[in-house]
Chain A
Amino acid sequence: MFKKVLIANRGEIAVRIIRACREVGLGTVAVYSEADRQALHVRYADEAYLLGPAPARESYLRMDKIMDIAKKSGADAVHPGYGFLAEREDFAQACVDAGIIFIGPKPSAIAAMGDKAVARATVVKAGVPVVPGTEDVGNMTNEDLLAVAPRIGFPLLIKATAGGGGKGMREVRAIEEMPALLMSARREAESAFGDGNVYLEKLVEGARHIEFQIMADAHGSVIHLGERECSIQRRHQKLLEESPSPALNEDLRAKMGAVAVKSAQAVEYLNAGTIEFLLDKNDNFYFLEMNTRLQVEHPVTEVVTGIDIVKEQLRIARGRSMSYKQEDVKWTGAAIECRVNAEDPFNGFMPSTGQIVQSIQPTGPGVRVDTGVYPGFEITPYYDPMIAKLIVWGETRAQAILRMRRALEEYRIVGVRTNIPFHQTLMDSHRFMGGQFDTRFVEERFSLEDAVENKESHPEIAVALATLVAHQQTQRAAQIVRRNERDASNWRWVGRWERMHR
């Protein structure tokens, strides 16, 4: 039974894991880069150790340093969160070798599922349907892939074998585009995962992205906690997730859940994991990949089942039986999660960096915000643009949407631009409300500009606001000049004071 958990991650997920550890009485060890000294996970943990400079390669990906800190601090377990080292077999193995509990699956399962090509082969043997693509191959060269591509057929996807989160993923419509796209996919995969390997997969058109949350303990019990609908994506990045999916009924849920459990069993899976499926218009579903770790969007499942997935992970890692059997898992109401990213939806979703000057989170009934940022915290270009997850629960999907609307309107984040207006527009979209969408919806059939055109407009209010702000600036500038005339040396302080005064 371990007593102290090192969290090998940062941001909201590190905070999430610290919370679970604290609630079950476990000690916590944070690690941080030079950019994160003031991060919440450092402030909340019992212990905190510096890893190195801001870039992930010099900090959060430094396995050697993390293992040293684990030993130095006496941590007897490691939680990897998601991203960074979470799906690195060698990291899990290093923990095992050092006698430290890795809170996740065995290295062999990570290896089997972490390499997406091997994963496909493994589940195929277990009788699980997969999307046609490159089979049983690890290190294919560009020449190999170009040769195989026509047999799979276009359109197809290039995917990173070490992948996740859409990084290193490219869609190919014709063979001519492929060489350039292979290059950029490999470059992005190399930079994101330190592994430039890619494979090919047929693009199932009009498909939904449905995933099942799996939990497995060391006593042979494997259960699923239902599905998450993750079709709202942009550039293969999930933007919004919900549970249940508007596309599933009880029968299909049971069928897909059973296949998900079988997939996990195929690799003797342990702890929390996610089976991703594509679901086509005719309710055919295909195994896509397994994420052998906690998922960003796990809260929507927590909210509808009442199960604390991270606490359950800790319980499983301690060698105990799960608190729930399959028949104990009940789903109540509907949950939606919006990922709040520091990016400007009106300017091509360009990342936005800067210091958070103010943050007023929506609260009240049925609202949860998981975040690692707070006023004063600096959003740097080094890490993921996701700064918060806004999760709501409603008795029905319609009520959850209405609640999400009011929560999005309440949320104030000052200092960076965010994609909140994107989510607000999405909540007003009739197709979204009707549950009528697939993974291409955002990119192909949803335009922020068009959608905004149909929204209630307040031109006179905008005019009044802009004019009042401009007027205020003119007045203030005049005052500063006047002060300045009296005493030139004040200038510097006035300027600073103007910026700082709140």
Chain B
Amino acid sequence: MMIMQQNTWIPLFPEQASTFAGDVDLLYFYLIAISAFFTIGIVAAIFFFVVKYREREAFATPKEIHGSIALETLWSIIPFIISMTVFLGGAIVYYNQYRVPDEAMDVYVVGKQWMWKIQHATGQREINELHVPVGRKVKLTMTTEDVLHDFFIPAFRTKMDVVPGRYTTMWFEATKPGKYHLFCAEYCGLNHSGMGGWVYVMEQRDFDNWLAGNVSGQTPVEAGRDLFENKLGCASCHQGGKDQRGAVLEGIFGKEVKFTNGQSAIVDDAYLRESILNPGAKIVEGYQPIMPTFKGQVTEEQLVQLIAYIKSLSGDAGTTSQTAATAAPKASPEAAANSNMPSSETKGGN
């Protein structure tokens, strides 16, 4: 399913994976041709003049050439005509990109510092990932909870700003199965460059499977780590170094945490689960209640994986994340075999 991008030493050209890509690239080549024509032409002329008419006598006074109306007209009209073709080409491509076809399949996108929350019409949710079938028109209806963002998929040659207080729309039709970059292209603050992910283009059958919920071959800790770092974007708050906005998670398991309301609790699976599903209930001292709820966005299965991962951060090997992370996969091979791993406490939720 995963087709990697071509691996030349110096990439020169992005993959073409949507119906727009061809048009946009054509326009691009057209403009390159125009630019090359003028640049080479003028640079060659300059070179020629500079060599041919180089100074032969100090302070010579070459004959004055005042100018030429005919030439001026010529070199105003021709660029104008050329630039009009460029405008028209651009206008047509643009018009197609922003006139959303009616039959498109709906996907909803919400930007938030610094992750993409995506929901399919079937209710399936994903974060920082977008799965779409190949050969279907997909319409994205987008907004944001905070600042401007921009949903950008280079391989599809399309992007659109996401504006607070408004819905903006964009659409595309993927043409080639594969895994493509998703970027946030409008500056949005601290972790702007981390606000990205992947777009997976799948055959319709694979997509249907995916919608039905698929299983991966990863261990829960690995899967949890993947969720934590990439898919759910937990890392955007919980792994920021000095600027980290979320609570420190390394080494908390089994320890006592204090809350802003004066109470405290021992961190166990149930507490972790509550923290993820209903973060507003207990706010850790020293932090703002900004963590979004993940209720409805993580499946029970994913919850388990997340908890497994967070536990691994407090693994017996030590409390630093590196050791924990490298130790974790080895630590739980049996657990991996058993997808019913959750301990009894975590079943208490909704």
A interacts with B: no
A residues in contact (CB < 8 Å) with B = none
